[in-house]
Structure 1
Amino acid sequence: MNGKPLHEAFNRTAYPITGHGKRNIGVLKDALNAYDGDLDSDIYGEGSIIEGFQGKMAGILGKDKAVFFPSGTMAQQIALRIWCDRKGVKRVAYHPLCHLEIHEQRGLHELHGIEPVLLGGKDRLISLGDVQELYGKVACLLLELPQREIGGQLPDFGELEAISACCRERGIALHLDGARLFEVLPYYQKSAAEVCALFDSVYISFYKGIGGIAGAILAGDAGLAEESKIWKRRHGGDLISLYPYILSADYYFEERLPNMGRYYEEAVELAGLFNKCQQISTLPAEPVSNMFHVHAALSKERLEPLLIELYEETGVGLTHYLRETGETSCYFEISVGDRYALIPKEELHRAFAILDEKLAAVL
């Protein structure tokens, strides 16, 4: 199967369990309707819209300055380039499944000549021991919180503090890939500023858990912010106006930040339902944010028609895709958002009871 039947069946369900809703034009319209149509746009990185939002986010993250970027890919490559220039070393360390390594077509190396050092194993988090044993000079260590490609796992906060102290002792800059930073705060029971205090620079996204159109913030010291503006212009990211991204980011940030605790609690509840089903397990076993991975001890070819039947019988949609992990296993990712709370509990529990029955029948 090419995956389209599952995707189409998922789109027909009355109760999809993931995300905030469809990414359609209404997402932007709803955000823009909240603002005065006479509000002046930003122009090439200047104006009250962009400067006010940058100042607001710098305060929330506890950093001197913040700069708005059209994409996180651009923001992070620029942050690492600045740290390499400052340290005089063209090497940075990060996890083998870091976004820069597996999703950016070697952009860091091709555009900036920076050599990545892959730290730790693919199936686990970077540990303090990995950092202590890091060989040779590196300008910067990037940590992703949570580590998406291994189910959204997180280090203990004490481990994070120890890694931060180790980097500072060794003169290594510590950069946070905080694409989902706000989603992990309920687990850590910390503010964004408390987490970011352990890092020298921070990137956050506005289209993942926040649910905006696109856009990112890079925050750090005042010098890093000013240097990043120059690199943003070089990368072609200094568009004449970015206000559709900025306004949607601000609108959905204010709307969804108060819900992050609920999304996290619902993710724990949902993972519990999955783990009661035969041949199903979640990673982590108990989520530490609003996202986790669902692993099935069943091939994609066998699970897909089973899920399509489930969707048609119950109207509850679990996922629109499956990814193979072996000949007899596959997985998918769950991110809990606004949709989950709209599902009647009796319908949800019925769907999982039927799922368990179907899985038992194929043993």
Structure 2
Amino acid sequence: MVNTLLEAFNKTTYPVVGHGKRDIQVLKDAFDELDGTIDSDIYGTGKVIEDFQAKIAAYLGKPSAVFFPSGTMAQQIALRMWCDEKGIRKIAYHPLCHLEIHEQNGLRELHQIEPVLLADKNSLITLEDVLQMKEDIACLLLELPQREIGGQLPAYEELEAIAAHCKAKGIKLHLDGARLYEILPYYGKTAAEICSLFDSVYVSFYKGIGGIAGAILAGEEAFMTQSKIWKRRQGGDLISLYPYIISADQAFDERLPKMEQYYHDAIELAAMYNDCDGITTRPVVPVSNMFHVHIELPKESFEKLLIPVFEETGVGLTGNVRDFGEGSSYYEVSLGDRYADIPKEQLGQAFTLLNQKIKQIIA
């Protein structure tokens, strides 16, 4: 007998989200066919790290790239350097930016940088928001897609207009591209085309890519040389980072070609959710492999409803439902390798049962 939603999810035969369990097999698989005599990187130097940095810099269309143990470190450093260069201690970003809600005020406490919050928290940053900004800022950060509002994206023309305005005004533009790979199918652009709009770019290797950890910061040569100094100052220059780099490299090669399939899978799955009473997805039609599911039921009520659906069908939709206020709840869906393994008939049964149980409550 299970007592929690997460326990029920972990026991399902067909979990829907992600690539698989985050266990040590991920690392074992990455090293399985490697020659054990390959030299490790040492304090940011060596073939393992330098080759990977060059590979990702070329992919992003930037002259140089540096591997960091975390995106939190990489982005704070990038913003600090832009503020130092401009002599302005202010940067702008969305109210639900990762730096604002998940990093314990790191930007303020470590770097004495004041954020300027643009747009309503439930909306994307628009050109109009940037034009109406009264503060002088060193840098504008854009997150593509905007995760905390369901992974929404601006129109590409809007993005180009914001970039042109920032360039004309001398405002640096930084890309939080933690999920950059996932948006390429929707935009129909290469990573380099999108990154050409930005002065600096961060990408992750553990989210959609599915590596263990790690991030790349990319930009011009001089900027990236300075970032290595800050990386050392903040304790990110570990003696060796090769477990993260090798895992990232393997996952990058394996999963990058699958991003378009993940995107189409998300569109298919979102349609199933929207066919259920009391459920809507945000966005209604996904623009990447992720979206949010919103339910017109409180968290506790919906969790009690989900557990028997999981147990009866073997399909696990989520292990984490959150309150959304006013008697509603939501959760995030991010699709990867697992989705393709679910028999369509079984997935359909799960949604049929889910809809029946919701109707019994909200009728």
TM-score per shorter chain, which class? over 0.9
Structure 1 distance, partners of 2:195, 2:347, is: 37
* Structure 2: gaps (5+ residues): none
Number of equivalenced pairs: 361
Aligned AA for 2:298?
S
- The two structures have a TM-score, normalised by structure 2, of 0.99
What does the per-residue CA deviation read over 1:333-362, in whole Å, with 9 as the maximum and x for residues that have no partner? Answer: 000000000000000011111111111111
Aligned AA for 1:355?
L
1:145 corresponds in structure 2 to 144
2:310 corresponds in structure 1 to 311
Tell me the secondary structure at the aligned position of residue 362 of structure 1. Answer: helix
1:197 corresponds in structure 2 to 196
Query: Within the alignment, does 1:19 sit opposite 2:18 as a pair?
Result: yes
Query: Within the alignment, does 1:260 sit opposite 2:259 as a pair?
Result: yes
Structure 1 residues 210-225: aligned runs within 5 Å:
210-225=209-224
Structure 1 distance, partners of 2:109, 2:302, is: 40
Structure 1 residues 267-346: aligned runs within 5 Å:
267-346=266-345
CA offset at residue 33 of structure 1? Answer: 1.1
CA offset at residue 161 of structure 1? Answer: 0.2
Structure 2 distance, partners of 1:188, 1:146, is: 11
Structure 1 distance, partners of 2:88, 2:297, is: 46
Structure 2 distance, partners of 1:297, 1:13, is: 25
Structure 1 distance, partners of 2:33, 2:217, is: 25
Structure 2 distance, partners of 1:136, 1:16, is: 46
CA offset at residue 54 of structure 1? Answer: 0.3
Aligned AA for 1:176?
L
Structure 2 distance, partners of 1:36, 1:288, is: 40
Tell me the secondary structure at the aligned position of residue 339 of structure 2. Answer: helix
Structure 1 residues 29-178: aligned runs within 5 Å:
29-178=28-177
Query: Within the alignment, does 1:251 sit opposite 2:246 as a pair?
Result: no
What does the per-residue CA deviation read over 1:138-170, in whole Å, with 9 as the maximum and x for residues that have no partner? Answer: 000000000000000000000000000000011
Structure 1 distance, partners of 2:349, 2:228, is: 53
Aligned AA for 1:135?
K
Structure 1 distance, partners of 2:143, 2:320, is: 24
Tell me the secondary structure at the aligned position of residue 255 of structure 1. Answer: helix
Structure 2 distance, partners of 1:44, 1:248, is: 18
Structure 1 distance, partners of 2:92, 2:301, is: 39
Structure 2 distance, partners of 1:9, 1:136, is: 49
Structure 2 distance, partners of 1:228, 1:219, is: 10
Query: Within the alignment, does 1:179 sit opposite 2:178 as a pair?
Result: yes
Structure 2 distance, partners of 1:89, 1:327, is: 41
Structure 2 distance, partners of 1:36, 1:285, is: 47
Structure 1 distance, partners of 2:4, 2:326, is: 20
Structure 2 distance, partners of 1:68, 1:356, is: 46
Tell me the secondary structure at the aligned position of residue 288 of structure 2. Answer: coil
CA offset at residue 276 of structure 1? Answer: 0.2
CA offset at residue 327 of structure 1? Answer: 3.7
Q: CA RMSD in A?
A: 0.8
Aligned AA for 1:71?
S
Aligned AA for 2:24?
I
Tell me the secondary structure at the aligned position of residue 49 of structure 1. Answer: helix
2:7 corresponds in structure 1 to 8
Is 28-37 or 120-129 further displaced after alignment? Answer: 28-37
Structure 2 distance, partners of 1:326, 1:174, is: 34
Structure 2 distance, partners of 1:192, 1:54, is: 15
Is 26-35 or 44-53 further displaced after alignment? Answer: 26-35
Relative distance call for 1:220 and 1:4 in structure 2 (3 A) is farther
* Structure 1: gaps (5+ residues): none
CA offset at residue 268 of structure 1? Answer: 0.3
What does the per-residue CA deviation read over 1:173-216, in whole Å, with 9 as the maximum and x for residues that have no partner? Answer: 00000000000000000000000000000000000000000000
CA offset at residue 136 of structure 1? Answer: 2.1
What does the per-residue CA deviation read over 1:277-329, in whole Å, with 9 as the maximum and x for residues that have no partner? Answer: 00000000000000000000011121111100100110000000110011410
What does the per-residue CA deviation read over 1:200-252, in whole Å, with 9 as the maximum and x for residues that have no partner? Answer: 00000000000000000000000110010000000000000000000000000
Tell me the secondary structure at the aligned position of residue 351 of structure 2. Answer: helix
Tell me the secondary structure at the aligned position of residue 281 of structure 1. Answer: strand
Structure 2 distance, partners of 1:290, 1:108, is: 29
CA offset at residue 34 of structure 1? Answer: 3.0
Poorly superposed stretches of 4+, deviation over 6 Å: none
CA offset at residue 4 of structure 1? Answer: 6.3
Structure 1 distance, partners of 2:181, 2:325, is: 33
Query: Within the alignment, does 1:235 sit opposite 2:234 as a pair?
Result: yes
Aligned AA for 2:28?
K
